[in-house]
Structure 1
Amino acid sequence: MQKAILAASACLFAMTAHAQDLPEKYKTAGKLIVANTPNYPPMEYRDPATNELVGVDIDLGKALAKQLGTEIEWSEIGFEQMVSSLNTGRVDLVLSGMSDLPARRETMDFVDYMRSGAQFYTSAKRKDEFKTLTDFCGKTVGMSRRTSFPDEAAKWSAANCEANGKPALNIVGTEGSADARTQLKQGRLDGAVQGSETLPYLLTLEKDTYAIVGEPFTEVYQGIGFSKQTPELRDAIAGALKAIMASGEYKAIFEKYDLAGSTLDGVMINGEAVK
Protein backbone atom coordinates (compact mmCIF):
# COMPACT_ATOMS: atom_id res chain seq x y z
CA MET A 1 0.00 0.00 0.00
CA GLN A 2 2.78 2.41 0.96
CA LYS A 3 4.59 1.67 -2.35
CA ALA A 4 1.40 2.50 -4.23
CA ILE A 5 1.01 5.78 -2.36
CA LEU A 6 4.64 6.72 -3.06
CA ALA A 7 4.21 5.82 -6.73
CA ALA A 8 1.10 8.00 -6.91
CA SER A 9 2.94 10.86 -5.23
CA ALA A 10 5.82 10.50 -7.67
CA CYS A 11 3.39 10.57 -10.58
CA LEU A 12 1.66 13.67 -9.21
CA PHE A 13 5.04 15.33 -8.73
CA ALA A 14 6.09 14.52 -12.28
CA MET A 15 2.92 16.14 -13.61
CA THR A 16 2.98 19.26 -11.45
CA ALA A 17 6.51 20.03 -10.32
CA HIS A 18 7.57 21.72 -13.54
CA ALA A 19 5.26 24.61 -12.72
CA GLN A 20 7.03 25.26 -9.40
CA ASP A 21 3.84 27.01 -8.40
CA LEU A 22 2.82 27.70 -4.83
CA PRO A 23 -0.72 26.91 -3.70
CA GLU A 24 -2.88 30.06 -3.52
CA LYS A 25 -2.86 30.10 0.29
CA TYR A 26 0.90 30.72 0.37
CA LYS A 27 0.85 33.15 -2.55
CA THR A 28 -1.70 35.25 -0.67
CA ALA A 29 0.40 35.15 2.51
CA GLY A 30 3.45 36.21 0.52
CA LYS A 31 5.71 34.06 2.66
CA LEU A 32 6.45 30.60 3.98
CA ILE A 33 6.84 30.16 7.74
CA VAL A 34 9.72 27.74 8.25
CA ALA A 35 10.68 26.02 11.51
CA ASN A 36 14.38 26.13 12.33
CA THR A 37 16.59 25.69 15.37
CA PRO A 38 19.88 27.54 14.69
CA ASN A 39 22.21 25.47 16.86
CA TYR A 40 23.54 22.93 14.35
CA PRO A 41 26.44 24.36 12.33
CA PRO A 42 27.04 24.32 9.45
CA MET A 43 23.38 23.50 8.75
CA GLU A 44 21.95 26.43 10.73
CA TYR A 45 23.57 28.76 13.24
CA ARG A 46 24.08 32.40 14.06
CA ASP A 47 27.25 34.06 12.91
CA PRO A 48 29.11 34.96 16.13
CA ALA A 49 30.25 38.28 14.67
CA THR A 50 26.94 39.50 13.25
CA ASN A 51 24.26 37.30 14.87
CA GLU A 52 22.99 36.72 11.32
CA LEU A 53 21.22 33.42 10.63
CA VAL A 54 23.48 31.42 8.29
CA GLY A 55 24.14 27.87 7.14
CA VAL A 56 23.29 25.28 4.49
CA ASP A 57 19.59 25.12 5.38
CA ILE A 58 19.32 28.90 5.51
CA ASP A 59 20.90 29.35 2.08
CA LEU A 60 18.85 26.49 0.67
CA GLY A 61 15.61 27.91 2.09
CA LYS A 62 16.32 31.32 0.56
CA ALA A 63 17.11 29.76 -2.81
CA LEU A 64 13.90 27.71 -2.80
CA ALA A 65 11.81 30.73 -1.78
CA LYS A 66 13.35 32.84 -4.54
CA GLN A 67 12.62 30.12 -7.07
CA LEU A 68 8.99 30.12 -5.95
CA GLY A 69 8.71 33.91 -5.90
CA THR A 70 8.03 34.23 -2.19
CA GLU A 71 9.75 35.10 1.11
CA ILE A 72 10.75 33.05 4.15
CA GLU A 73 9.92 33.82 7.74
CA TRP A 74 12.13 31.72 10.00
CA SER A 75 10.39 30.48 13.15
CA GLU A 76 12.98 29.57 15.78
CA ILE A 77 11.44 26.82 17.89
CA GLY A 78 12.77 23.84 19.81
CA PHE A 79 13.46 20.74 17.74
CA GLU A 80 11.08 18.67 19.88
CA GLN A 81 8.23 21.09 19.07
CA MET A 82 8.64 21.05 15.31
CA VAL A 83 6.30 18.19 14.41
CA SER A 84 3.45 19.51 16.54
CA SER A 85 3.98 23.05 15.17
CA LEU A 86 3.85 21.67 11.64
CA ASN A 87 0.73 19.61 12.14
CA THR A 88 -1.16 22.38 13.93
CA GLY A 89 -0.36 24.87 11.16
CA ARG A 90 1.88 27.11 13.24
CA VAL A 91 4.59 26.63 10.60
CA ASP A 92 4.35 25.64 6.94
CA LEU A 93 7.39 23.40 6.75
CA VAL A 94 10.49 22.29 8.66
CA LEU A 95 13.98 22.98 7.31
CA SER A 96 16.34 22.28 10.19
CA GLY A 97 18.66 19.31 9.76
CA MET A 98 15.83 16.79 10.26
CA SER A 99 16.41 13.18 9.27
CA ASP A 100 13.86 11.51 7.02
CA LEU A 101 13.09 8.46 9.16
CA PRO A 102 10.39 5.83 8.49
CA ALA A 103 8.79 6.51 11.88
CA ARG A 104 8.50 10.21 11.09
CA ARG A 105 6.81 9.45 7.77
CA GLU A 106 3.78 8.26 9.69
CA THR A 107 2.91 11.88 10.43
CA MET A 108 5.04 13.84 7.93
CA ASP A 109 6.22 13.87 4.33
CA PHE A 110 9.77 14.73 3.33
CA VAL A 111 11.51 16.22 0.33
CA ASP A 112 15.02 14.85 0.78
CA TYR A 113 17.96 17.10 -0.03
CA MET A 114 21.18 15.61 1.38
CA ARG A 115 22.92 12.50 2.69
CA SER A 116 23.91 12.20 6.32
CA GLY A 117 24.94 9.61 8.89
CA ALA A 118 25.68 9.13 12.57
CA GLN A 119 29.40 9.59 13.21
CA PHE A 120 31.57 8.66 16.21
CA TYR A 121 34.28 11.08 17.31
CA THR A 122 36.45 11.65 20.35
CA SER A 123 38.80 14.28 21.76
CA ALA A 124 42.01 14.85 19.83
CA LYS A 125 44.09 13.97 22.89
CA ARG A 126 42.51 10.49 23.00
CA LYS A 127 42.48 9.69 19.29
CA ASP A 128 45.10 6.94 19.64
CA GLU A 129 42.72 5.00 21.94
CA PHE A 130 40.06 4.74 19.25
CA LYS A 131 41.39 3.34 15.99
CA THR A 132 38.18 1.51 15.04
CA LEU A 133 34.52 1.92 15.95
CA THR A 134 34.50 -1.16 18.17
CA ASP A 135 37.07 0.51 20.41
CA PHE A 136 34.05 2.40 21.78
CA CYS A 137 32.46 -0.83 23.08
CA GLY A 138 32.11 -0.49 26.85
CA LYS A 139 32.86 3.24 26.70
CA THR A 140 30.62 6.18 27.61
CA VAL A 141 29.40 7.97 24.51
CA GLY A 142 27.14 11.05 24.45
CA MET A 143 24.64 12.23 21.82
CA SER A 144 21.61 14.49 21.66
CA ARG A 145 18.58 12.80 23.19
CA ARG A 146 16.31 14.75 20.81
CA THR A 147 17.68 12.92 17.78
CA SER A 148 17.54 9.34 16.48
CA PHE A 149 21.20 8.83 17.47
CA PRO A 150 20.61 7.10 20.85
CA ASP A 151 18.40 4.42 19.28
CA GLU A 152 20.74 4.00 16.33
CA ALA A 153 23.79 3.74 18.61
CA ALA A 154 22.02 1.11 20.73
CA LYS A 155 21.28 -0.98 17.63
CA TRP A 156 24.87 -0.60 16.46
CA SER A 157 26.13 -1.64 19.89
CA ALA A 158 23.92 -4.76 19.95
CA ALA A 159 25.20 -5.85 16.54
CA ASN A 160 28.87 -4.89 16.91
CA CYS A 161 29.64 -5.03 20.63
CA GLU A 162 27.30 -7.40 22.51
CA ALA A 163 26.96 -9.83 19.59
CA ASN A 164 30.74 -10.27 19.63
CA GLY A 165 31.07 -10.70 23.38
CA LYS A 166 32.16 -7.14 24.02
CA PRO A 167 30.61 -4.77 26.58
CA ALA A 168 27.80 -2.53 25.36
CA LEU A 169 28.11 1.18 24.71
CA ASN A 170 27.15 3.29 27.69
CA ILE A 171 24.90 5.75 25.87
CA VAL A 172 24.33 9.16 27.47
CA GLY A 173 21.52 11.33 26.13
CA THR A 174 22.63 14.97 26.20
CA GLU A 175 20.75 18.25 25.82
CA GLY A 176 22.15 18.64 22.34
CA SER A 177 25.35 18.23 20.33
CA ALA A 178 26.95 21.24 22.04
CA ASP A 179 26.32 19.67 25.45
CA ALA A 180 27.91 16.41 24.27
CA ARG A 181 31.00 18.31 23.12
CA THR A 182 31.23 20.13 26.45
CA GLN A 183 31.06 16.87 28.39
CA LEU A 184 33.67 15.36 26.06
CA LYS A 185 36.03 18.24 26.77
CA GLN A 186 35.41 17.84 30.50
CA GLY A 187 36.34 14.17 30.34
CA ARG A 188 32.87 13.00 31.36
CA LEU A 189 32.50 11.21 28.01
CA ASP A 190 34.90 8.97 26.11
CA GLY A 191 33.31 9.82 22.78
CA ALA A 192 30.31 11.41 21.13
CA VAL A 193 28.05 10.99 18.12
CA GLN A 194 26.60 13.62 15.81
CA GLY A 195 25.70 14.06 12.16
CA SER A 196 28.57 13.48 9.75
CA GLU A 197 27.74 16.73 7.94
CA THR A 198 28.60 18.82 11.02
CA LEU A 199 32.03 17.47 11.86
CA PRO A 200 34.19 18.95 9.05
CA TYR A 201 32.99 22.41 10.06
CA LEU A 202 33.54 21.63 13.74
CA LEU A 203 37.14 20.55 13.09
CA THR A 204 37.92 23.85 11.35
CA LEU A 205 36.19 25.87 14.07
CA GLU A 206 37.98 24.15 16.98
CA LYS A 207 41.30 22.98 15.60
CA ASP A 208 43.11 20.13 17.37
CA THR A 209 40.14 19.54 19.65
CA TYR A 210 38.31 16.56 18.15
CA ALA A 211 39.12 13.47 16.08
CA ILE A 212 36.69 11.63 13.79
CA VAL A 213 36.76 7.85 14.17
CA GLY A 214 35.98 5.63 11.18
CA GLU A 215 33.06 6.12 8.83
CA PRO A 216 29.42 6.98 9.68
CA PHE A 217 27.65 3.91 11.09
CA THR A 218 24.28 4.82 9.59
CA GLU A 219 23.11 6.32 6.33
CA VAL A 220 20.10 8.58 6.24
CA TYR A 221 18.64 11.40 4.18
CA GLN A 222 17.99 14.83 5.60
CA GLY A 223 14.63 16.15 4.50
CA ILE A 224 12.40 19.19 4.40
CA GLY A 225 9.36 18.23 6.47
CA PHE A 226 5.72 18.81 5.55
CA SER A 227 2.34 18.01 7.05
CA LYS A 228 0.58 15.20 5.22
CA GLN A 229 -2.26 17.69 4.77
CA THR A 230 -0.15 19.86 2.42
CA PRO A 231 0.99 17.66 -0.50
CA GLU A 232 0.67 20.60 -2.92
CA LEU A 233 3.22 22.61 -0.93
CA ARG A 234 5.51 19.57 -0.73
CA ASP A 235 5.41 19.16 -4.51
CA ALA A 236 5.97 22.87 -5.12
CA ILE A 237 9.11 22.77 -2.97
CA ALA A 238 10.24 19.58 -4.70
CA GLY A 239 9.83 21.32 -8.06
CA ALA A 240 11.85 24.30 -6.87
CA LEU A 241 14.57 21.98 -5.58
CA LYS A 242 14.71 20.26 -8.97
CA ALA A 243 15.15 23.66 -10.62
CA ILE A 244 18.03 24.80 -8.41
CA MET A 245 19.69 21.40 -8.84
CA ALA A 246 19.54 21.91 -12.60
CA SER A 247 20.88 25.47 -12.39
CA GLY A 248 23.86 24.50 -10.21
CA GLU A 249 22.78 26.70 -7.31
CA TYR A 250 22.08 23.67 -5.10
CA LYS A 251 25.60 22.27 -5.60
CA ALA A 252 27.15 25.69 -4.99
CA ILE A 253 25.43 25.98 -1.60
CA PHE A 254 26.90 22.68 -0.43
CA GLU A 255 30.34 23.47 -1.83
CA LYS A 256 30.31 26.74 0.13
CA TYR A 257 30.19 24.70 3.34
CA ASP A 258 32.57 21.93 2.16
CA LEU A 259 29.75 19.41 1.92
CA ALA A 260 29.80 18.57 -1.78
CA GLY A 261 29.93 14.87 -0.89
CA SER A 262 26.57 15.11 0.88
CA THR A 263 24.56 16.20 -2.17
CA LEU A 264 21.94 14.11 -3.95
CA ASP A 265 21.79 13.43 -7.68
CA GLY A 266 18.07 14.14 -7.94
CA VAL A 267 14.87 14.94 -6.09
CA MET A 268 13.54 12.39 -3.59
CA ILE A 269 10.24 12.27 -1.70
CA ASN A 270 10.07 10.07 1.40
CA GLY A 271 13.27 8.30 0.36
CA GLU A 272 12.02 7.50 -3.15
CA ALA A 273 13.54 9.04 -6.29
CA VAL A 274 11.11 10.94 -8.49
CA LYS A 275 11.49 12.21 -12.03
Structure 2
Amino acid sequence: MKHVATALLAGMLACGATGAIAQSSEAAKLVPQEIRDRGTLTVGSQQTFPPVEFKKPNETAVTGVSADLLAEIARRLDLRLEYIHGEYSSLIPGLESKRFDMASGGISDTEEREQKVDFVNYMMSGGSILVRAADKEKYKTITDFCGGTVAMLLGSNTIMKALEAANADCEAAGKARFTVDQLPSAPDAKAQLDLGRVDGYLGDFPALVYFVTNAPGSYAVVGGNYILTPYITSWAFSKDNAGLRDAVQKTAQEMLDDGTYKKLLTTWGLEGGALPEISVNLPASKRK
Protein backbone atom coordinates (compact mmCIF):
# COMPACT_ATOMS: atom_id res chain seq x y z
CA MET A 1 0.00 0.00 0.00
CA LYS A 2 2.88 2.33 0.80
CA HIS A 3 4.30 1.83 -2.69
CA VAL A 4 0.87 2.38 -4.25
CA ALA A 5 0.39 5.62 -2.29
CA THR A 6 3.85 6.79 -3.30
CA ALA A 7 3.11 6.03 -6.93
CA LEU A 8 -0.22 7.85 -6.78
CA LEU A 9 1.41 10.90 -5.20
CA ALA A 10 4.14 10.93 -7.82
CA GLY A 11 1.51 10.70 -10.54
CA MET A 12 -0.46 13.58 -9.07
CA LEU A 13 2.66 15.74 -8.85
CA ALA A 14 3.59 14.88 -12.41
CA CYS A 15 0.11 15.79 -13.66
CA GLY A 16 0.26 19.07 -11.77
CA ALA A 17 3.66 19.91 -13.20
CA THR A 18 2.48 18.96 -16.69
CA GLY A 19 -0.55 21.20 -16.29
CA ALA A 20 1.61 24.16 -15.24
CA ILE A 21 3.98 23.58 -18.17
CA ALA A 22 1.04 23.28 -20.56
CA GLN A 23 -0.35 26.58 -19.30
CA SER A 24 2.93 28.41 -19.70
CA SER A 25 3.84 26.80 -23.04
CA GLU A 26 0.86 28.49 -24.73
CA ALA A 27 2.11 31.89 -23.60
CA ALA A 28 5.72 30.94 -24.31
CA LYS A 29 4.85 30.35 -27.96
CA LEU A 30 4.00 34.04 -28.23
CA VAL A 31 7.49 35.16 -27.16
CA PRO A 32 9.45 36.46 -30.18
CA GLN A 33 12.02 33.98 -31.50
CA GLU A 34 14.90 36.38 -30.90
CA ILE A 35 14.10 36.53 -27.18
CA ARG A 36 13.57 32.77 -26.96
CA ASP A 37 16.92 32.14 -28.65
CA ARG A 38 18.61 34.58 -26.29
CA GLY A 39 16.83 33.07 -23.30
CA THR A 40 16.81 36.42 -21.50
CA LEU A 41 14.06 38.95 -20.91
CA THR A 42 15.58 42.42 -20.48
CA VAL A 43 13.67 44.91 -18.34
CA GLY A 44 14.34 48.64 -18.18
CA SER A 45 13.74 49.93 -14.66
CA GLN A 46 14.83 52.80 -12.43
CA GLN A 47 15.34 50.27 -9.57
CA THR A 48 14.84 53.02 -6.97
CA PHE A 49 11.10 52.78 -6.51
CA PRO A 50 10.04 50.86 -3.39
CA PRO A 51 7.93 48.80 -3.01
CA VAL A 52 7.53 48.31 -6.78
CA GLU A 53 11.14 47.77 -7.93
CA PHE A 54 14.20 48.70 -5.91
CA LYS A 55 17.47 47.50 -4.43
CA LYS A 56 17.86 47.18 -0.68
CA PRO A 57 20.96 48.82 0.86
CA ASN A 58 24.14 46.87 0.11
CA GLU A 59 22.28 44.41 -2.12
CA THR A 60 22.45 44.00 -5.90
CA ALA A 61 19.22 42.08 -6.52
CA VAL A 62 16.14 44.00 -7.65
CA THR A 63 13.18 43.37 -5.35
CA GLY A 64 9.59 44.63 -4.97
CA VAL A 65 6.10 43.62 -6.04
CA SER A 66 6.74 44.12 -9.77
CA ALA A 67 10.07 42.31 -9.48
CA ASP A 68 8.33 39.34 -7.83
CA LEU A 69 5.62 39.23 -10.48
CA LEU A 70 8.14 39.47 -13.32
CA ALA A 71 10.35 36.79 -11.79
CA GLU A 72 7.41 34.37 -11.80
CA ILE A 73 6.39 35.40 -15.32
CA ALA A 74 9.93 34.85 -16.59
CA ARG A 75 10.09 31.46 -14.85
CA ARG A 76 6.86 30.33 -16.51
CA LEU A 77 8.11 31.54 -19.89
CA ASP A 78 11.43 29.73 -19.32
CA LEU A 79 13.42 32.98 -19.56
CA ARG A 80 16.08 34.58 -17.40
CA LEU A 81 15.31 38.05 -16.10
CA GLU A 82 17.87 40.82 -16.62
CA TYR A 83 17.39 44.40 -15.39
CA ILE A 84 18.87 47.39 -17.17
CA HIS A 85 18.91 50.61 -15.18
CA GLY A 86 17.23 53.68 -16.61
CA GLU A 87 15.84 56.85 -15.09
CA TYR A 88 12.06 57.06 -15.16
CA SER A 89 11.98 59.66 -17.93
CA SER A 90 14.22 57.51 -20.15
CA LEU A 91 12.21 54.27 -19.97
CA ILE A 92 9.83 54.85 -22.88
CA PRO A 93 12.60 56.31 -25.11
CA GLY A 94 14.67 53.25 -24.14
CA LEU A 95 11.93 50.97 -25.41
CA GLU A 96 11.71 52.87 -28.67
CA SER A 97 15.48 52.59 -29.17
CA LYS A 98 15.44 48.82 -28.38
CA ARG A 99 17.65 49.23 -25.32
CA PHE A 100 15.52 46.62 -23.52
CA ASP A 101 12.54 44.34 -24.24
CA MET A 102 10.08 45.90 -21.78
CA ALA A 103 9.98 48.74 -19.28
CA SER A 104 8.83 48.60 -15.67
CA GLY A 105 9.11 50.36 -12.32
CA GLY A 106 5.84 52.18 -11.72
CA ILE A 107 4.94 53.37 -15.23
CA SER A 108 1.30 54.40 -15.56
CA ASP A 109 -0.78 53.64 -18.64
CA THR A 110 -2.19 56.80 -20.25
CA GLU A 111 -3.98 57.42 -23.53
CA GLU A 112 -1.20 59.81 -24.52
CA ARG A 113 1.55 57.25 -23.88
CA GLU A 114 -0.39 54.60 -25.79
CA GLN A 115 0.39 56.58 -28.93
CA LYS A 116 4.00 55.44 -28.53
CA VAL A 117 3.94 52.14 -26.60
CA ASP A 118 1.61 49.40 -25.40
CA PHE A 119 0.89 48.50 -21.78
CA VAL A 120 0.06 45.41 -19.76
CA ASN A 121 -1.81 46.68 -16.69
CA TYR A 122 -1.08 44.89 -13.42
CA MET A 123 -2.01 47.13 -10.44
CA MET A 124 -4.27 50.00 -9.43
CA SER A 125 -2.46 52.94 -7.92
CA GLY A 126 -2.64 56.70 -7.68
CA GLY A 127 -0.62 59.85 -7.16
CA SER A 128 -0.44 60.92 -3.49
CA ILE A 129 1.62 63.40 -1.50
CA LEU A 130 4.24 62.64 1.14
CA VAL A 131 4.94 65.29 3.81
CA ARG A 132 7.04 65.48 6.95
CA ALA A 133 5.16 64.06 9.96
CA ALA A 134 5.27 67.47 11.67
CA ASP A 135 3.23 68.92 8.77
CA LYS A 136 0.56 66.21 8.54
CA GLU A 137 -2.20 68.46 9.93
CA LYS A 138 -1.18 71.38 7.73
CA TYR A 139 -1.91 69.68 4.41
CA LYS A 140 -5.11 67.85 3.50
CA THR A 141 -5.34 68.26 -0.29
CA ILE A 142 -3.17 69.58 -3.11
CA THR A 143 -4.63 73.11 -2.83
CA ASP A 144 -3.11 73.43 0.64
CA PHE A 145 0.25 73.65 -1.15
CA CYS A 146 -0.65 76.88 -3.00
CA GLY A 147 2.33 79.22 -2.74
CA GLY A 148 4.64 76.39 -1.67
CA THR A 149 6.91 73.91 -3.46
CA VAL A 150 6.43 70.24 -4.30
CA ALA A 151 8.73 67.63 -5.82
CA MET A 152 7.89 64.90 -8.32
CA LEU A 153 9.62 62.47 -10.66
CA LEU A 154 10.78 63.76 -14.02
CA GLY A 155 8.57 62.24 -16.70
CA SER A 156 5.49 61.71 -14.50
CA ASN A 157 3.13 63.27 -17.05
CA THR A 158 -0.06 62.06 -15.35
CA ILE A 159 0.86 63.77 -12.10
CA MET A 160 2.08 66.88 -13.93
CA LYS A 161 -1.30 67.34 -15.63
CA ALA A 162 -3.06 67.05 -12.27
CA LEU A 163 -0.67 69.62 -10.80
CA GLU A 164 -1.33 72.05 -13.64
CA ALA A 165 -5.07 71.77 -12.96
CA ALA A 166 -4.45 72.29 -9.23
CA ASN A 167 -2.36 75.39 -9.92
CA ALA A 168 -5.27 76.77 -11.94
CA ASP A 169 -7.45 76.24 -8.86
CA CYS A 170 -4.90 78.11 -6.74
CA GLU A 171 -5.04 81.08 -9.08
CA ALA A 172 -8.85 80.98 -9.26
CA ALA A 173 -8.92 81.19 -5.45
CA GLY A 174 -6.64 84.23 -5.52
CA LYS A 175 -3.66 82.28 -4.18
CA ALA A 176 -0.12 81.96 -5.47
CA ARG A 177 0.77 78.98 -7.65
CA PHE A 178 3.00 76.33 -6.14
CA THR A 179 6.40 75.55 -7.64
CA VAL A 180 7.07 72.07 -9.04
CA ASP A 181 10.60 70.60 -8.85
CA GLN A 182 11.05 67.63 -11.20
CA LEU A 183 13.75 65.20 -10.06
CA PRO A 184 15.17 62.00 -11.62
CA SER A 185 14.42 59.48 -8.84
CA ALA A 186 12.29 58.85 -5.76
CA PRO A 187 15.29 59.06 -3.37
CA ASP A 188 16.21 62.46 -4.86
CA ALA A 189 12.68 63.76 -4.34
CA LYS A 190 12.45 62.41 -0.80
CA ALA A 191 15.85 63.93 0.02
CA GLN A 192 14.51 67.36 -0.93
CA LEU A 193 11.63 66.79 1.47
CA ASP A 194 14.01 65.70 4.23
CA LEU A 195 16.10 68.85 3.73
CA GLY A 196 13.02 71.06 3.91
CA ARG A 197 13.54 72.36 0.37
CA VAL A 198 10.07 71.22 -0.71
CA ASP A 199 6.82 70.99 1.23
CA GLY A 200 5.66 67.71 -0.28
CA TYR A 201 6.73 64.89 -2.58
CA LEU A 202 4.22 63.59 -5.12
CA GLY A 203 4.57 59.93 -6.00
CA ASP A 204 2.79 56.59 -6.23
CA PHE A 205 0.64 55.83 -3.21
CA PRO A 206 2.24 52.37 -2.62
CA ALA A 207 5.73 53.89 -2.60
CA LEU A 208 4.73 56.62 -0.17
CA VAL A 209 3.10 54.10 2.18
CA TYR A 210 6.37 52.16 2.09
CA PHE A 211 8.31 55.26 3.16
CA VAL A 212 5.89 55.91 6.02
CA THR A 213 6.02 52.29 7.19
CA ASN A 214 9.81 52.08 7.13
CA ALA A 215 10.42 55.38 8.95
CA PRO A 216 7.81 55.54 11.75
CA GLY A 217 7.16 59.07 12.95
CA SER A 218 9.06 60.70 10.07
CA TYR A 219 6.49 61.00 7.29
CA ALA A 220 2.76 61.03 6.57
CA VAL A 221 0.62 60.78 3.46
CA VAL A 222 -1.54 63.89 3.02
CA GLY A 223 -5.09 63.30 4.20
CA GLY A 224 -4.23 59.75 5.27
CA ASN A 225 -4.86 58.26 1.83
CA TYR A 226 -5.49 61.31 -0.36
CA ILE A 227 -5.26 60.47 -4.07
CA LEU A 228 -4.54 63.40 -6.38
CA THR A 229 -5.10 61.31 -9.50
CA PRO A 230 -5.78 57.57 -9.96
CA TYR A 231 -3.80 55.53 -12.47
CA ILE A 232 -2.95 52.02 -13.51
CA THR A 233 0.59 50.80 -12.88
CA SER A 234 1.78 48.88 -15.94
CA TRP A 235 4.59 47.25 -17.88
CA ALA A 236 5.38 48.91 -21.21
CA PHE A 237 6.27 47.35 -24.58
CA SER A 238 7.23 48.79 -27.95
CA LYS A 239 4.47 48.81 -30.56
CA ASP A 240 6.29 46.22 -32.68
CA ASN A 241 6.63 43.74 -29.80
CA ALA A 242 3.03 42.55 -29.48
CA GLY A 243 4.16 38.93 -29.11
CA LEU A 244 6.04 39.60 -25.90
CA ARG A 245 3.28 41.90 -24.65
CA ASP A 246 0.69 39.16 -25.12
CA ALA A 247 2.93 36.48 -23.61
CA VAL A 248 3.38 38.57 -20.46
CA GLN A 249 -0.35 39.41 -20.29
CA LYS A 250 -1.41 35.81 -20.72
CA THR A 251 1.04 34.54 -18.10
CA ALA A 252 0.08 37.24 -15.60
CA GLN A 253 -3.59 36.40 -16.15
CA GLU A 254 -2.83 32.74 -15.44
CA MET A 255 -1.17 33.88 -12.21
CA LEU A 256 -4.27 35.88 -11.29
CA ASP A 257 -6.47 32.86 -12.01
CA ASP A 258 -4.39 30.43 -9.92
CA GLY A 259 -3.96 32.83 -6.95
CA THR A 260 -0.24 33.55 -7.40
CA TYR A 261 -0.85 37.18 -8.40
CA LYS A 262 -2.88 38.05 -5.29
CA LYS A 263 -0.41 36.19 -3.06
CA LEU A 264 2.54 38.22 -4.37
CA LEU A 265 0.69 41.53 -3.98
CA THR A 266 -0.25 40.57 -0.43
CA THR A 267 3.41 39.94 0.39
CA TRP A 268 3.99 43.67 -0.11
CA GLY A 269 0.73 44.82 1.50
CA LEU A 270 -0.62 45.89 -1.89
CA GLU A 271 -3.52 43.48 -2.27
CA GLY A 272 -5.86 46.49 -2.30
CA GLY A 273 -4.38 47.42 -5.68
CA ALA A 274 -5.23 44.07 -7.30
CA LEU A 275 -7.02 44.34 -10.66
CA PRO A 276 -9.96 42.09 -11.59
CA GLU A 277 -8.11 41.09 -14.76
CA ILE A 278 -4.74 41.67 -16.40
CA SER A 279 -5.63 44.03 -19.23
CA VAL A 280 -3.87 45.63 -22.18
CA ASN A 281 -4.07 49.38 -22.80
CA LEU A 282 -6.83 50.14 -20.30
CA PRO A 283 -5.81 53.30 -18.41
CA ALA A 284 -7.73 54.84 -15.52
CA SER A 285 -9.35 57.34 -17.91
CA LYS A 286 -11.16 54.48 -19.71
CA ARG A 287 -12.31 52.65 -16.57
CA LYS A 288 -15.64 53.18 -14.83
Query: TM-score, normalised to structure 2's length?
Result: 0.83
* Correspondence for 2:258 among 225, 247, 268: 247
> What is the match of residue 10 of structure 2?
none
Q: Which residue of 2 aligns with 1:155?
A: 165
Does the alignment pair 1:126 with 2:160? no
Is the Cα contact below 8 Å between 1:150 and 1:173 reproduced in 2?
no
Distance 1:131 1:85, change over 3 A: closer
| Alignment partners' CA distance in 1, 2:35 and 2:60 | 28
Q: Indicate if the aligned counterparts of 1:156 and 1:217 stay in contact, CA closer than 8 A.
A: no
Q: Say if 2:64 is the partner of 1:20.
A: no
In 2 relative to 1, CA 131–100 (structure 1 residues): closer, same or farther, beyond 3 Å? closer
Deviation of 1:43 (Å): 0.8
Aligned to 2:217: 208
- Residue 12 of structure 2 is matched in structure 1 by none
1:234 to 245, 250, 259: 245
Cα deviation, 1:25-51, whole Å, max 9, x if unaligned, reads 222111211111111111111122533
Return the match for 2:152 from 143, 148, 165.
143
Aligned residues: 257
- Runs of 5+ consecutive residues of structure 1 not aligned to the other structure: 1-16
TM-score (norm 1): 0.86
Runs of 4+ residues over 4 Å off in structure 1 = none
Q: What fraction of aligned residue pairs are identical, expressed as a percent?
A: 30
Match of 2:64 in 1: 55
* In structure 2, distance between residues paired with 1:146 and 1:87: 16
What's the secondary structure of 1:179's corresponding residue? helix
> What is the one-letter code of the residue matched to 1:240?
T
Measure how far apart 1:87 and its partner are.
Answer: 1.9
1:81 Cα offset (Å): 2.6
Instruction: Tell me: CA distance 1:173–1:87, structure 2 relative to 1, closer, same or farther (3 Å).
Output: closer
CA distance in structure 1 between the partners assigned to 2:32 and 2:140 by the alignment: 52
| RMSD between aligned residues | 2.1
| Code of the aligned partner of 1:27 | R
Which residue identity lines up with residue 157 of structure 1 in the other structure? N
Cα separation, partners in 2 of 1:163 and 1:268, compared to 1, 3 Å = farther
* Residue number among 74, 83, 87 corresponding to 2:96 in the alignment: 87
- Paired residue type of 1:226: F
Q: Retained in 2: the 8 A contact 1:144–1:150?
A: no
**127-136 or 261-270: bigger deviation:** 127-136
**CA-to-partner distance for each residue in 1:227-254, whole Å, 9 max, x for gaps?**
1011111111110011011111111111
1:196 aligns with 205
What letter corresponds to residue 246 of structure 2 in structure 1? D
Residue in structure 2 matched with residue 70 of structure 1 by the alignment:
79
